[in-house]
């Protein structure tokens, strides 16, 4: 047996002074899989009254931080509120972006006409939040319009302010830019219990005219090298989508490995959504869909809620499907506005994530797909279709890096069969191969992969032929899939 020659990390070999010297080595201290840190980044517009520094990442720990940093009534504050309604367990950062100076705010009009013949209550909904306005039989249209204005302005968290001229109420988005066009204004969401008092006519012209979105280029350049596993982005215009796609493509690259996944809201008809996504093809973004005239909450609230719920549950198990998970605080569209099953199937084929409404009125995740649908040759490619695949791949890469760096720090590299003394900090391709198979077994135990025989057969671990300090590995895990469709034929007998 070869004489032991222990590779000490800190105790020198020429130590002459008497004493007892003991060092610590943690390379064998950790067994099993490591927990991957989870951080969430929220990118959203801020108002001038916000105390946050534009384009500068800031960590937050409570809902009130969103109001302070982004400003009360801001898009950012609404998204932060949605995140903390979904979960308060994720490390959360925000990245405020100031409105563009030359942008224009969206506006809507509420016109009051007629004379009420009965007293009652008018239920006005702004971005899915209700305002109650009392109506008396002697109230004129101008008085009712003024009361609507006062009622709306009494809610500083609303994304609009109201002004009145005679019997017309003008709503103006607090933010400039196209996002304001998505602010929903409607009456009587709960049609069984809410109605407009008889004799009164209310005409709503939807929010429109918002143009000129701020660029997130500077904000993205300030993120740095820190990893944000989940990114919630309010901006959905083409220019900013191209920026975030490029940022995430870089972050997923092998020389950066600080990957993340973005969640963005997209409202439209089936045709307009599909047309938008036909120009996109990225595995690192999930677009959460909303119907035109459907869900009253803004698209950025839908994205923040769905993204936070996804992040929370994928941190527990990145391979477990998200289907059936409810989105807290999201009001469903009226039943007549729901995307049909056929429409949702069509949306999914274009790379749009879908939700459904359960029997309890909860908006629930149906399938969280990415916008990746085709390979570089333009052929249909399902390999990066589902968000669970992307989060699983991210975790597998992280755990491989953690295992190798933990087990073999400051090790020497030798060929298989080298006769070195026990205790030496030397690793060979065969040892690395054995460690990777052990890691696969750990992945298998928690349900992330399957088919160890295939993994062993296809696994390649070899010393690089031109760089003697490098080991090249081909890792071929068969990642576990999700149970989504059950198809059966009842072949009955009489």
Q: Are residues 137 and 85 in the same domain?
A: no
Residues with Cβ within 8 Å of 98's Cβ and at least 6 positions away in sequence, in order, are 45, 46, 48, 54, 55, 214
Whether the Cβ atoms of residue 75 and residue 44 lie closer than 8 Å to each other: yes
Give the confidence band of 16 by pLDDT, cuts at 50, 70, 90.
confident
- Count of all residues that appear for the chain in the document: 494
Give the confidence band of 29 by pLDDT, cuts at 50, 70, 90.
confident
* % of the chain exceeding 90 in pLDDT: 91
Q: Tokens at residue 484, please?
A: 């989504």
Does 87 fall in a domain? yes
Q: Are residues 323 and 234 in the same domain?
A: yes
What is the structure's pLDDT at 489? 94
What is the structure's pLDDT at 294? 96
Q: Are residues 307 and 342 in the same domain?
A: yes
Sign of the torsion formed by the C-alpha atoms of 476, 480, 485 and 489: positive
What is the structure's pLDDT at 25? 83
Q: Are residues 237 and 358 in the same domain?
A: yes
Give the confidence band of 15 by pLDDT, cuts at 50, 70, 90.
confident
What is the structure's pLDDT at 95? 98
Give the confidence band of 261 by pLDDT, cuts at 50, 70, 90.
very high
Q: Tokens at residue 170, please?
A: 């003008």
Give the C-alpha distances (Å, rounded to integers) separating 12 from 6, 307, 327, 404, 424: 11, 52, 59, 25, 15
204 vs 112: CA distance, rounded Å: 9
Give the confidence band of 23 by pLDDT, cuts at 50, 70, 90.
confident
- Which pairing describes strands 39-46 and 91-98: parallel, antiparallel, or unpaired? parallel
What is the structure's pLDDT at 181? 98
Q: Are residues 313 and 332 in the same domain?
A: yes
Name the average pLDDT for the chain.
Answer: 95
Q: Are residues 374 and 255 in the same domain?
A: yes
313 vs 93: CA distance, rounded Å: 18
Q: Tokens at residue 385, please?
A: 């279709």
Q: Specify the number of domains making up the chain.
A: 2
Residue 11 has pLDDT above 90, yes or no: no
Does 417 fall in a domain? no
Instruction: For residue 197, count other CB atoms closer than 10 A to its CB.
Output: 21
Last residue of a domain, one of 390, 416, 431: 390
151: CATH: 2.60.40
Instruction: For residue 413, count other CB atoms closer than 10 A to its CB.
Output: 17
Q: Give per-residue pLDDT as tens, 182-197.
A: 999 999 999 999 999 9
Q: Give per-residue pLDDT as tens, 353-396.
A: 999 999 999 999 999 999 999 999 999 999 999 999 999 999 99
Q: Which domain holds residue 163?
A: 105-208
Supply the pTM of this predicted model. 0.94
Whether the Cβ atoms of residue 45 and residue 76 lie closer than 8 Å to each other: yes
Does 31 fall in a domain? no
33 vs 35: CA distance, rounded Å: 7
155 vs 161: CA distance, rounded Å: 9
CA nearest to 361, candidates 323, 332, 328? 332
Does 334 fall in a domain? yes
Q: Are residues 162 and 263 in the same domain?
A: no
Instruction: Report helix angle 299-316 to 75-86, nearest 10.
Output: 30
What is the structure's pLDDT at 364? 98
Give the confidence band of 239 by pLDDT, cuts at 50, 70, 90.
very high
Does 447 fall in a domain? no
* Backbone phi and psi for residue 178, each to the nearest 5 degrees, phi listed first: -70, -20
Last residue of a domain, one of 152, 187, 208: 208
50 vs 54: CA distance, rounded Å: 9
Q: Give per-residue pLDDT as tens, 46-85.
A: 999 999 999 999 999 999 999 999 999 999 999 999 999 9
Residue 1 has pLDDT above 80, yes or no: no
Q: Are residues 149 and 227 in the same domain?
A: no
Does 476 fall in a domain? no
């Amino acid at each position: 047996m070869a004489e032991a020659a222990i590779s000490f990390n800190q105790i020198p070999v020429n130590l002459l002074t008497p004493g007892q010297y003991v060092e610590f080595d943690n390379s064998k201290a950790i067994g099993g899989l490591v927990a991957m840190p989870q951080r969430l980044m929220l990118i959203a517009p801020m108002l001038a009254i916000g105390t946050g520094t534009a384009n500068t990442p800031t960590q937050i720990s409570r809902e009130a931080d969103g109001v302070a940093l982004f400003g009360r009534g801001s898009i950012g504050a609404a998204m932060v509120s949605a995140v903390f309604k979904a979960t308060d367990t994720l490390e959360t950062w925000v990245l405020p972006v100031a409105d563009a100076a030359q942008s224009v705010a969206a506006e809507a009009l509420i016109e009051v006409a007629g004379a009420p013949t009965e007293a009652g209550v008018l239920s006005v909904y702004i971005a899915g939040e209700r305002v109650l306005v009392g109506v008396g039989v002697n109230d004129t249209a101008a008085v009712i319009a003024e009361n609507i204005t006062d009622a709306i302005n009494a809610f500083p968290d609303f994304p609009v302010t109201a002004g009145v001229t005679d019997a017309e109420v003008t709503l103006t988005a607090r933010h400039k830019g196209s996002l304001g066009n998505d602010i929903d204004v409607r009456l009587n969401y709960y049609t069984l219990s809410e109605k407009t008092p008889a004799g009164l006519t209310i005409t709503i012209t939807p929010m429109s005219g918002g143009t000129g979105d701020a660029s997130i280029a500077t904000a993205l350049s300030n993120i740095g090298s820190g990893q944000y596993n989940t990114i919630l982005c309010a901006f959905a215009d083409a220019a900013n989508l191209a920026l975030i796609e490029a940022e995430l493509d870089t972050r997923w690259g092998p020389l950066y490995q600080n990957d993340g996944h973005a969640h963005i809201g997209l409202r439209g008809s089936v045709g307009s959504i599909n047309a938008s996504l036909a120009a996109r093809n990225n595995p690192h973004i999930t677009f959460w869909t909303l119907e035109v005239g459907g869900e009253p909450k803004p698209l950025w609230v839908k994205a923040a809620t769905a993204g936070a719920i996804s992040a929370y549950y994928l941190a527990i198990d990145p391979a477990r499907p998200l289907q059936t998970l409810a989105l807290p605080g999201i009001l469903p569209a009226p039943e007549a506005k729901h995307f049909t099953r056929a429409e949702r199937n069509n949306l999914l084929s274009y790379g749009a994530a879908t939700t459904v409404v359960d029997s309890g009125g909860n908006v629930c995740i149906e399938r969280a797909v990415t916008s990746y649908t085709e390979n570089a040759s333009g052929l249909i490619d399902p390999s990066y279709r589902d968000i669970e695949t992307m989060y699983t791949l991210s975790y597998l890469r992280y755990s491989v890096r953690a295992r190798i760096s933990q087990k073999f720090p400051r090790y020497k590299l030798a060929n298989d069969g080298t006769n070195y003394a026990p205790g030496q900090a030397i690793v060979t391709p065969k040892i690395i191969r054995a460690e990777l198979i052990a890691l696969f077994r750990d992945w298998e135990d928690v349900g992330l992969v399957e088919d160890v025989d295939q993994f062993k057969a296809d696994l390649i671990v070899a010393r690089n032929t031109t760089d003697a300090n490098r080991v090249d590995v081909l890792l071929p895990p068969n990642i576990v899939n999700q149970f989504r469709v059950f198809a059966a034929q009842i072949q009955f007998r009489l």
